[in-house]
Amino acid sequence: MTEDRKYDFASPSPTETLPAYSTTWGNDIAREKPRKSWNWWKLRYGWNSACRPIAQRSKSACDAAWRFMCARGWPFLRALTPSLRQVLAFLLVLVFGVAPMAFLGYYTPIGQSSPGNRPFYGVFQDKVLSCGDSFGTPENSTISGIEKFFVLDKTFGRFSFAEVKSLDVAWDILVGRGVQMIAWWVGYVVFSDALLRAIERHPTSFQIFQRIALEGPSLLSLWTLVKELWCSRSKRTKALFFYMWMATFYIMCIPMFLGAMTGYDSTSIAWVSLDDDNNIVTAESIERSGVVMGTPDKTFDEPICADEDSSYRAYNEKIMRRNDCNCQLRNGTILSPNEYSTWMLHHYSRAYLNDCRFDYPGVNKTFERDTWSSSSQSRVPVLQQCGASFNMTVDGKSYDALSLNITTGFCYGGRGYEFMYLYDKTRCLPDTANPTYKWGFSTMLSGMFVFVHFGWALTMYILWQDAQFRSTLVKGGYQMTPLRAAFAMAKAAKRKTGMSEKQLVRANTNELEQELYGTRRTKGTKVEYGIFEEGDEEHGEVEVVRRKNLGPKLDLGVSETSISSAISSKTTTPSTPV
């Protein structure tokens, strides 16, 4: 039995029932979770494998770009950043070159046009001198030819002689010499840098270095530059020296130009010739007024002056009737408003309103005009007869204003003058009653100065920039000054003569100048690029050329060598007994 059970305990018999809790065994058994699929990792791994070379190349490119930016880009950008000298030079060109050019173009339009219209045209046209309220163009007021270079056509003010003279002197000293000083400073800086660039190509003479680097633009430099033009073999150097000569000549002439283009003149007023050349009156004594030439049936022997307000009212009365009333010509033809407008276009004259009368006999037409109403405080339309008129007193007599041949004009001494009668009868003569003076400019000479100055400033800026970017010394920060020029000249003189500083100071001036400047038979001293190199000639880093012969004689007639030899011989040689 036991042995049977040993084999049958796991297999219950069909008659055996299961316990009650057996129904929950399925919940108590831990079910295995489905295994996660790693197929997506193949796609991710493949993507990483494909992008890893791209990322490495991108990183390498970024590293290379960063190294290039640090090594080349940033220094280049720093080089593009303008220095203080560059900014100052650019501002000088704008203030002293471009600004005067723009100012001149704006205020020299064509004729009497508004400023800015066709700039620079007024610089070259003939000059017309005005003298106040003139009638037309004054006689002999148009200046042409060579005279318009110096005529003062832009004047202002009314000064006494002491005031205008003080103003003129102040201009010559402050402006003339002030501009020349600024131009001299600019010329020294530009010429010195350009000379350093020329020295880097080939040595230059001792004398031209002295004139340019030590003394600056002057009359002596003009003569030295002329001599160097014949001695120099380099075409570039000849062109440089020729430009330096022209620029220096302009710097020397600046006060003359500024003084010539300004000045003072006596104040003139307009005088008008009325009847003949002997009867001249001032233009301000002629008053504006109405001028009555006559009536439709009669012409006065002389035009009569009329009140300006009454003349203006009569003119307006005729204007108001022009669109609504018929009028009658002198030949008796009656014109409607439309016919009158057509006739006016074909037979236009300054006195066309006087050729057609609105108060002809038998007229009974009305027109509407606006009249001010004090009750309503507004303008109200009122009907009025086309032939209605008003009386006007002329020369002590009463006339119908609509029947008068009246126009606008001027009056002097009770006689009326039309504008066309006074046209071109004005003269500009000095004001003898109140003598004063005016100060101003010559437009044409000022324009020529501005043009030349603009060209000088622009070319000097280009020459300076050439030295800034192409000269080794200038790019290295070397800046020439008169003190450095003196040291360089002393160094060059020591190289040429082989003398010490004390010997150079006490040497004979004439002989030293011949050796340094040269003569027709001998060559002068050259200033070489090696003088400006870093090194100490006392330690042999820069070769020094020593002359073999003795130094020049002293001014006292005895050389320093002979003096020292005599002293040494006297102290060392014993005296011979007699």
456 three-state secondary structure: helix
CA distances from 366 to 323, 324, 484 (A): 11, 8, 100
The answer to whether the beta carbons of residues 312 and 290 sit under 8 Å apart is: yes
CA distances from 319 to 213, 347, 348 (A): 81, 17, 15
Closest C-alpha to 211, from 226, 201, 197: 226
One pLDDT digit (tens) per residue for the chain, 578 residues = 444 444 444 445 555 565 555 555 555 555 555 555 555 555 555 566 667 777 788 888 888 888 888 887 777 777 667 788 899 999 999 999 999 999 999 988 887 777 778 888 888 888 888 887 788 888 888 888 888 888 998 898 999 999 999 999 999 999 999 999 999 999 999 999 999 999 999 999 999 999 999 999 999 999 999 998 888 888 999 999 999 999 999 999 999 999 999 999 999 888 888 876 677 888 888 888 888 888 777 778 888 888 888 888 887 777 777 777 888 877 777 877 777 767 665 555 444 555 677 777 877 888 777 776 666 667 777 777 887 777 787 877 888 777 788 888 899 888 888 888 888 888 888 888 888 999 999 999 999 999 999 999 999 999 999 999 999 999 888 999 999 999 999 999 998 888 888 888 888 888 888 888 888 888 888 999 989 876 545 444 444 443 434 344 444 444 444 434 444 444 444 443 43
259-260-265-271 Cα dihedral, nearest 10 degrees? -150
The answer to whether the beta carbons of residues 291 and 404 sit under 8 Å apart is: no
Whole-number Å distance between alpha carbons of 227 and 204: 13
The answer to whether the beta carbons of residues 191 and 301 sit under 8 Å apart is: no
24 three-state secondary structure: helix
Whole-number Å distance between alpha carbons of 309 and 30: 125
Counts for the chain of helices (H) and strands (E), in that order: 21, 21
Instruction: Please list, in sequence order, all residues whose beta carbon lies within 8 angstroms of the beta carbon of residue 243, skipping any fewer than 6 positions away.
Output: 459, 463
Whole-number Å distance between alpha carbons of 293 and 305: 9
Sign, CA torsion 157/159/162/163: negative
Whole-number Å distance between alpha carbons of 377 and 400: 30
DSSP labels, 432-462? SSS--EEEEE-HHHHHHHHHHHHHHHHHHHH
Which residues on adjacent β-strands are paired with residue 415?
A: 304, 412
32 three-state secondary structure: coil
Whole-number Å distance between alpha carbons of 484 and 213: 9
DSSP labels, 367-389? EEEEEEETTTTEEEEEEEETT--
C-alpha angle 496-502-507 in degrees, rounded to nearest 5: 65
Residue 217 burial (CB count, 10 A): 27
Whole-number Å distance between alpha carbons of 572 and 11: 150
Token representation of residue 356: 């057609």
Which 8-state DSSP code applies to residue 69? I
DSSP labels, 150-164? T---EEEEEE-HHHH
C-alpha angle 318-321-325 in degrees, rounded to nearest 5: 135
Q: In this predicted structure, what is the pLDDT of residue 23?
A: 56
Q: In this predicted structure, what is the pLDDT of residue 566?
A: 44
Closest C-alpha to 318, from 292, 354, 348: 354
What is the distance between the terminal CA atoms of the chain, rounded to a whole angstrom? 176
Whole-number Å distance between alpha carbons of 121 and 199: 45
Exposed, middle or buried: residue 208 (CB in 10 Å: 0-12, 13-18, 19+)?
A: buried
Within its chain, how far is the Cα of 176 from the centroid?
18
Whole-number Å distance between alpha carbons of 194 and 242: 13
Please give the model's pTM, rounded to 2 decimal places. Answer: 0.69
The answer to whether the beta carbons of residues 362 and 329 sit under 8 Å apart is: no
Q: State the DSSP H helix or E strand holding residue 534, giving kind and residue range, or none if neither.
A: none
Token representation of residue 103: 């100012």
Which 8-state DSSP code applies to residue 271? E
Which 8-state DSSP code applies to residue 120? T
The answer to whether the beta carbons of residues 516 and 206 sit under 8 Å apart is: yes
Instruction: Please list, in sequence order, all residues whose beta carbon lies within 8 angstroms of the beta carbon of residue 549, skipping any fewer than 6 positions away.
Output: none
